[in-house]
Each structure stands twice: as structure tokens, then as C-alpha cells.
Amino acid sequence: MMWLTLLYGCAGGAALLYVLYRWVIPSVVQYHAGLALIWHDTIVEGLLNALTQTTRPQRLLAAVQKNATRGDPRSVVKAIDQFCRQKEWAMNVGDEKGCILDSVVTEVNPATVLELGTYCAYSTVRIASLLPPHAKLITLEFNPHNAAIARQVIAWAGLGDKIQLVEGASGDWIPKMKEKFAIETFDLVFLDHWKDRYLPDTKLMEECGLLRKGSILLADNVICPGTPDYLEYIRNSPRYKSQYFRSHLEYTKVEDGLEKSVFLG
């Protein structure tokens, strides 16, 4: 009888923990920026990494290979969104802000694009799928593990001929853009890397002459986790005209948004 009581107690405890993990805690942190990032990006990721002996990017890639149609970029995007909403949160721009990104890419119709921060190539695929023929997209990723996963996601989407993925620090590569890639200026720059690099990399692009009159900077996560120094600069500089697009942190109800800034020369 004691063993049965113990067994029932363990089963009940396990069931309670699962309910807390799967539904209760995710529902609570949906509306709190700090808790959402700690829960999803530290606790859950660390736990799943230890239990599965894989990384979040590897699990995301597996979801793409299982659920997306090879050569179909939109099915790759859909598979990642489903993974992030139903299985495991990840720091992509996400479906809600992704629609804003799509509208800006379509509006600008850029011939040259720079993406700072590839991660697993979610936004890379979204952007490349909307580019005109012969357009060039260069995406920079500092983390070699993320870059290896991103290359496979890009290949699965069938967009390898449109995208050049470069590994390394943005501060090292931005001054080499003209020499290494025969780029004069970028029509569109998507900033989604380390938040403390938004401002120095923007100033570096200005110094290197990579922005022309009319170039668009689109910056993600300007509210959560936040880029106060970048916003202070970009909104008060006479060299830019800026607009904020209110949205939510990817796959949550926490306020976040994109800042679109037109370089005036």
C-alpha cells in the first residue's frame, strides 16, 4: 500500500510539473518581458539541451527537415513558426513582426541587402524569398554553430543562390564589404544581432559609405530586449527619418517592435 501511495504521489507530481511546464508558466510569462526571456531563453533551452543532448538550433533544423517542403521557402518559414509556437520558443523575428519585415522588403524591392544576425536563417529566408532576380543578400553570423545550421535551412529552402552567409563579427566585416563583395551601398539593412552593436555598427556603416540617400535600416527588438542608445541616436539624428512599428516579442504578448529608418544622406 505504501508503494502504491508513493507511486501515485510521484505520478501526480510529475503530471503537475508537466502542466506547469507546458501550459501554466508559458501562459504567465507571455505578458512579462524579463520572465519570458529568462524562461524561454535560459531555463527551457538549458533543460532541453541537457535532456536531448542537442541544441535549440539543431532541434529547429530537425523540425524544418521533417515538416517543410524542400525548395519551398514559405513552408520553411511556416515550419519554424509552428515549432516556435507549439514546441519551443526561439529568437527569430517571428510571424507577427515577420509580416512587417515582409512589407518593408516588398516596398523597398532592394537589389542589395545586409542582414546583421542570421541565427537559424528564419528572417534570411523571409527576405530572400521576396527579393527580385539578381538581388544580393549578405547575412552575417558571429556564432559558427548557428551559421552551420543556417546554411542547412537556407539550402532546404532552395535559396542558396540568393544568399551569401558570412561568419564573423559585424565590426570586422562591415569595413570589408566594398572590397570583398563589390558592394557600393545597401538598399536595406536588417539589424537583428547583438543589441549593443546596433549603434556602433550603424555609425560604422555611415563611416564606410555603405548607406546612400534612401537606404533603409530596419531594426528588430528595439523595445524588448531593447536598444535605447540606438533609438536615441536614430530618432534624433537629422540624417534619418524614423518610424516605429509596434508589435510583440516573437511568439509572446510582450510589447516589442521594429524601427524603420530612412537614411537622408
Q: How distant, in Å, are the alpha carbons of 100, 109, 127, 204 from that of 103?
A: 5, 10, 10, 27
Candidates 141, 187, 192, 201; catalytic one: 192
State the residue for C-alpha cell 551569401: 164
Q: Give me 111's grid cell.
A: 537589389
Q: Active site residue: 221, 256, 259, 260, which one?
A: 221
Known catalytic membership, residue 221: yes
Please, what is the angle between helix 144-157 and helix 56-67, to 10°? 10
DSSP state for residue 197 in the 8-state scheme: G
Q: Which of 61, 62, 74 is nearest to 149 (CA)?
A: 61
The answer to whether the CB of 218 falls within 8 A of the CB of 258 is yes
Please, which residues have CB within 8 angstroms of residue 239's CB and are 6 or more apart in sequence?
206, 263, 264, 265
Contact 117, 167 (CB under 8 A): no
Q: Is 213 designated active site?
A: no
Task: Find the catalytic residue in 220, 256, 259, 260.
Answer: 220
Containing 205, the helix (H) or strand (E) segment is helix 198-207
C-alpha cell at 63: 523540425
Identify the active-site residue in 136, 162, 195, 260: 195
Q: How far apart are CA 148 and CA 159, in angstroms?
A: 15
Q: What is the largest CA-CA distance in the chain?
A: 80
Q: Residue 109 catalytic?
A: no
Exposure letters 134-151 (e unless 16+ CB within 10 A, then b): ebbbbbbbbeeebbebbb
Selected catalytic residue, list 115, 250, 256, 259: 250
Q: State how far the Cα of 237 lies from the Cα of 256, in Å rounded to an integer.
A: 22
- Residues annotated as catalytic are 192, 195, 220-221, 250
